[in-house]
Structure 1
Amino acid sequence: MRLLILLAWLLVAAPCVRAAEPLTNFNVVLLQPSAVLEERVPSIDAMAEYIKAVEAASREAVIASGAKQSVGGFIVVAVRPELRSNVWLDFDSLLDLELRKQLITKVKAVKPFEARKGPVVFALKVATWNGKESKRTAPFPPEWKGVTRSGTPLEVGDLVESIWED
């Protein structure tokens, strides 16, 4: 009888048990004002497809790294005219080195959409392996720290241009 009760409970409870997801995307954070994005993004559909491809590449990277680290943060992406892109990571704790390498490599390998008149900058707010969502609302990768002009913060597109490395 106990076995039947246990089996019945498992059948009912099984759909509630979820496997850990390699990557959870909480949202997309647009890091520039609407007016800038409207000027620089000729096709919203192309940008949306690119964001989906970046998310898929990020998921593949988490799996390929072999790291089972649970951490929340941001994958920051900039797309320049001439189909060029760059990636920065800003997570709440240090990332496993292989995970970091895989994320940057796989996201950079995604063919970007066509931007015009300057860079388009956004971030995916994500967590790996059921990690907690970052409490921060926007990223500020370590590479961006200390980059200012005359002591005043730069607009994010200008900031990205000032530190861009191909």
Structure 2
Amino acid sequence: DVLQKGLRVEAGNRDLKTLQVEITKELNAMKSKTRKGPDGKLLSPAASAKEEGNEQFKAGMHDVAIRWYTRAIVLSKEEDREIKIASLSNRATCYAQHHNYKKVIEDTTRVLEMDPKHVKALIRRGLAYEATEKYKLGLEDMREAQAVSGGSPVISQAISRLTHNVRYL
């Protein structure tokens, strides 16, 4: 997405065009990859797309990772429930990196509809609510995350901040 915007601004930029060609080649090569799981069996298309998203995320390519996680979500079948949950949760993390809190809330809400006790989704959504000044909703999610997980420093600190903000609404 950033590359496309750059090309719109500077259509004649050779470096951007070269980078676009390299990225396109790499994506095409990745699409043709077949992935195997730890047991040596081929992964489902959804699992393969999720793994590619994980690799792109680790490389800091959040926009590319979002596309792979989206593909995993779309390709997920009923038996791929855990893959769908993980892909939604991971995509929410990518959106958080871009401060797109509306999308974080959408994806984590979908995760929580499938798994109401998903601690990472509760934390991510709680932090997204905090960032969008929906302090009461954020506090509810953080309290639920604390109840489910037993707590963590991230949860405790968020509860403290959110409680303070709710008091001063």
Determine if the TM-score, normalized by the shorter chain, exceeds 0.5: no
Structure scoring higher RCO (CA < 8 A, sep ≥ 6) equals: 1
* Larger strand fraction of residues: 1
TM-score w.r.t. length of structure 2: 0.28
* Larger helix fraction of residues: 2
